[in-house]
Each structure stands twice: as structure tokens, then as C-alpha cells.
Amino acid sequence: MNNLRRNFLKSSLLLSAGLFLKTGDIMSTTANQNRNLARQKLKLTFKPYTLDLKHVFTVSSNSRITTPVMLTEIEYDGLIGYGEASMPPYLGESQESVSRFLSKLDLSPFNDPNDIEDILHYIDMIEPGNTAAKASVDIALHDLVGKVMGQPWYRIWGYDPEKAPNTSFTIGIDTPEVVKQKTLEASPYKILKVKLGKGNDKEMIDAVRSVTDKPLYVDINQGWKDKQYALEMVHWLKERNIVFIEQPMPKEMIDETAWLTANSPLPIVADEAVQRLSDLINLHGAYSGVNIKLMKSTGMREAHKMLNYAKAIGMKTMIGCMTETSCAVSAAAHLSPNADYADLDGPLLIKNDVFDGVKIVNGKVTLNDRPGIGVKKLI
Ligand code: MG
């Protein structure tokens, strides 16, 4: 809603409430408000922060114990919108690259945060890539606009928060004893996501299955290099209550993945193969599902478009995250009522969250009714 329309509605409400002001009074009040708003600028600030992980986190390509992030704020008219970029090193962005990108932005031509499409289009056109850096501005802007409107984003989008799915909890690659221990510690969660693809796949699944029969997602992180082996593993996993297979082969192996998807009894979900909407459109049926993450999609705006596109063409949809604070994960959670699956365990994997936001209650993604993305800064 633009400022003029907001002021008109305010004036109309005053009139209908019996507060009969003279037309001149209304006109001068509106003009003053518009002059004040016209002076308002969007002010972006950012600072680096390092997340400490609770456990060494190993996937098929690497291990790490920290994740660098950038925390952003956009200030406008006494309100602050919060955002975040998370940069797991293997994705190519860093605190230096995000800082360099954000330093190039000039939001001074914009004086109304409601112009989300124009503002984010300007940011996207500055240079390609930098998806996490762009997401950090997108999230802060959405938080700000939700606060201006006084509504949480799930309500602005028309989603029922009760329909948010259970989140999976991730078990990284490790020895059978550690995997058993981690699985037991994950007892509050109704679904587990098991990382595979380092050559000990059956050992990993047997270790998990020795202590729980919960449904599992498996994420290969491009670790399988042979389509026949992949299909044999999919059939083996199908017998062990696995819901879907995520990114089984390298993203470049499009034809082999399409063959696997056509022959697989389980959904084959793209993660590394899909960053943005254009990647999703270019898949041409090679996958039957997609893991949408704000740090890949450039934020909430494009993730929302991807979710709707994927659903429209019959793909399974997942809302996922990196290791992130409750800021970026809360932003993603607003999309989850419209997704088939959620993997929003980021804040659960870190020791030093700086936000209070979405909660996982009995394994379920549980949104609050605060406006914007629903977070409070803790320090
Ligand atoms: Mg993945």
C-alpha cells in the first residue's frame, strides 16, 4: 500500500469514527506526513559474525566447525528489518565478498520499502552471483515491510501456519558409534536427514536403523558418480523407509540424473543443481523435487516464486537452510506451510544464535505472530 493510500485510509477511518475534521485539516495533515515520509531513506548496515557449530559437520565434500555469516539491518521510519547471509565456504561467498557487494549498494533513491520488486531488481542487476549477499538484503527488506504492514509474512502470503511441516534434523557422516549417538540425541525430531555419499552409505543407514525406525531423508551431496550404483542404492534405501533422495549425483550429470529419476521408486530432489528460478525452469524434468534455500535463491522473493513454480509443474518441494541463525531460518519458515518438506534445523546446529524466532516444537516448524519475519534480536 503506498503512502498516499495509507493516509487516505487513515483519514477515511477518522471520518467514519465521527471525528469530523475540516477538509483543509486532512489535506494539511496528509501533506505534512507525505513530506516527512519523503525525507525518509532506507539505511542499510551490516556486520560480520561467526557461527560456532555444536559438532564438526561433515558432508561428502568437506568438514567444518564454524560458518561465517553477515548480519544486516535496514532502518526506515523508526523500524528495523533484520537480515542475514550465511556463507558455507564451499559455495564460494565469504564475509569479504558479501561486504564488498553490500558496500556497492545505494538505497538512497528508494524512499518506500514497499517497492520490494524495484529495490530487489536493482540489487540483482548490480552483478551476477552473490546470492547470499542479495538474500541478506531481501530478508531485511521483507522483515521491514512486514513490520510496516504489521503482519507476519505467512499471513501476507495467505498461508496457514498450522500447515507448516515437521522439520528434519541432520545427521552428518561419521562412524557408526557416533551416528548412533547423534540419532539418539535427535529423539525430539520426527524425521531425520542422513548425509551419505562418502562410501559408507549402508553402514550409516544401518547405524541409524539400529536405534530408530523414523522416516528418513537422505542427502548424497553429489557423492554418487555412477547411475547404476545410484539406482541399486535407491532400491536398497526404498526398503528402509526413506522418503526421498537429495542430489544423488554431480549437478553436471543431468542425463544420468534424468534416467535415475525416470527409474527411481523414490523422489529425486535437486539441491546443488538448483540455485535460482532460472535453474529450476532449465531442469526439464531431470529431478522430481527441489530443495529451495534462501541463500541460493537470493531471498524470500525469488524463493516464493520458485515454490509456486515447482508446485505448478508437480514437483515435490522442500524449504531448506544452511547453518544460519534464527533470523534467516525464520524468514524461510514463512514459506514452509506451502511446502511438502522442511529442513530448517540451522539454528539447532549452532551454539551462538543471536535471534529469537521460529521454534521447533515437538519436531514441527512453529511460527509466531510477530510482524515481518518474526524475530527479536537477543544481543
Ligand atoms: Mg542438500
User: What CATH number has the domain bearing residue 343?
Assistant: 3.20.20.120
Residues 113-139 have a mean pLDDT of 97
Quote the pLDDT of residue 205.
Answer: 98
Dist. CA 221 → ligand 1 center (Å): 6
CATH number at residue 131: 3.30.390.10
- 220: CA distance to ligand 1 center in Å? 7
Tell how far the Cα of 47 is from the centroid of ligand 1, in angstroms: 27
CA of 247 to the centre of ligand 1 (A): 7
Tell whether 134 and 173 lie within a shared domain: no
CA 168 to chain centre: 14
Do 212 and 164 reside in the same domain of the chain? yes
Q: Which of 127, 150, 173 is the last residue of a domain?
A: 150
Cell of 94: 565469504
How far apart are the CA of 217 and the centre of ligand 1, in A?
Answer: 10
Whether 30 is in a domain gets the answer no
Q: Are residues 176 and 131 in the same domain?
A: no
pLDDT of residue 13: 39
- Cα–Cα distance between 105 and 83 in angstroms, integer? 15
Residue 59: per-residue pLDDT: 67
Rounded distance from Cα 12 to ligand 1 centre (Å): 51
Q: Is residue 12 part of a domain?
A: no
Q: What distance in Å separates the CA atoms of residue 272 and residue 248, rounded to the nearest whole number?
A: 10
Q: Is residue 5 situated within a structural domain?
A: no
| Domain-terminating residue out of 150, 170, 197 | 150
Distance 219 CA to ligand 1 centre (A): 6
Report the distance separating Cα 27 and Cα 11, nearest Å.
9
**376 SS3 class:** strand
Same domain (yes/no): 215, 324: yes
Alpha carbons 49 and 68: distance in angstroms, whole number: 6
Count up the domains in the chain and report the number. Answer: 2
Distance 110 CA to ligand 1 centre (A): 36
Q: Is 274:297 a contact under the CB 8 Å cutoff?
A: no
Is residue 24 pLDDT above 60, yes or no?
no
Does 145 share its domain with 168? Answer: no
Confidence at residue 150, expressed as pLDDT on a 0 to 100 scale: 98
Residue 28 within any structural domain of the chain: no
Name the least confident of 38-42, 142-146, 259-263, 372-376: 38-42
Q: Are residues 200 and 307 in the same domain?
A: yes
Q: What is the pLDDT of residues 172-231, one digit of tens each?
A: 899 999 999 999 999 999 999 999 999 999 999 999 999 999 999 999 999 999 999 999
For helices 254-263 and 227-238, what crossing angle results, to 10°? Answer: 30
What is the pLDDT, as a whole number, of residue 57?
A: 75
Domain that holds residue 100: 43-150
Ligand 1 center–CA 291 separation, angstroms: 7
For the segment 39-64, the average pLDDT, to the nearest whole number, is 85
SS3 call for 270: strand
Q: Are residues 214 and 248 in the same domain?
A: yes
31 domain-assigned: no
Find the 199 Cα to ligand 1 centroid distance in Å: 17
Query: Same structural domain for residues 51 and 179?
Result: no
Lowest mean pLDDT among 14-23, 60-69, 112-121, 358-367: 14-23
Does one domain contain both 145 and 182? no
Q: Give DSSP secondary structure letters for 6-56.
A: HHHHHHHHHHHTT----HHHHHHHHHHHHHHHHH---EEEEEEEEEEEEEE
15 in a domain, yes or no? no
- C-alpha pair distances (Å), 79 with each of 141, 150, 223: 11, 11, 45
Report CA(144)–ligand 1 centroid distance (Å): 29
Q: Determine the average pLDDT of the residues in 326-348.
A: 96
pLDDT averaged over every residue in the chain: 90
pLDDT at 28 over 70: no
Between the CA of 195 and the centroid of ligand 1 the distance, in Å, is 8
Model confidence at 23: pLDDT above 90: no
226 plus 247 within the same structural domain:
yes
Please report the pLDDT score of residue 254 as a whole number: 97
Tens digit of each residue's pLDDT (9 = 90 or more) over 129-156: 999 999 999 999 999 999 999 999 999 9
Question: How far is ligand 1, taken at its centre, from the CA of residue 272, in Å?
Answer: 7
Question: In angstroms, what is the span from residue 294 Cα to ligand 1's centroid?
Answer: 13
Model pTM? Answer: 0.88
Q: Which residue has the higher pLDDT, 151 or 41?
A: 151
Domain identity same for 93 and 171? no
Instruction: Indicate whether 22 belongs to any domain.
Output: no
pLDDT of residue 60: 64
343 CA → ligand 1 middle, Å: 9
The pLDDT of residue 39 is 58
User: At which of 150, 166, 183 does a domain end?
Assistant: 150
In this structure, are 231 and 267 located in the same domain? yes
Q: Which three cell numbers stand for residue 374?
A: 518474526
**Is residue 247 in some structural domain?**
yes
Cα(323) to centroid of ligand 1, in Å?
Answer: 12
| Model confidence pLDDT, tens digit, residues 219-266 | 999 999 999 999 999 999 999 999 999 999 999 999 999 999 999 999
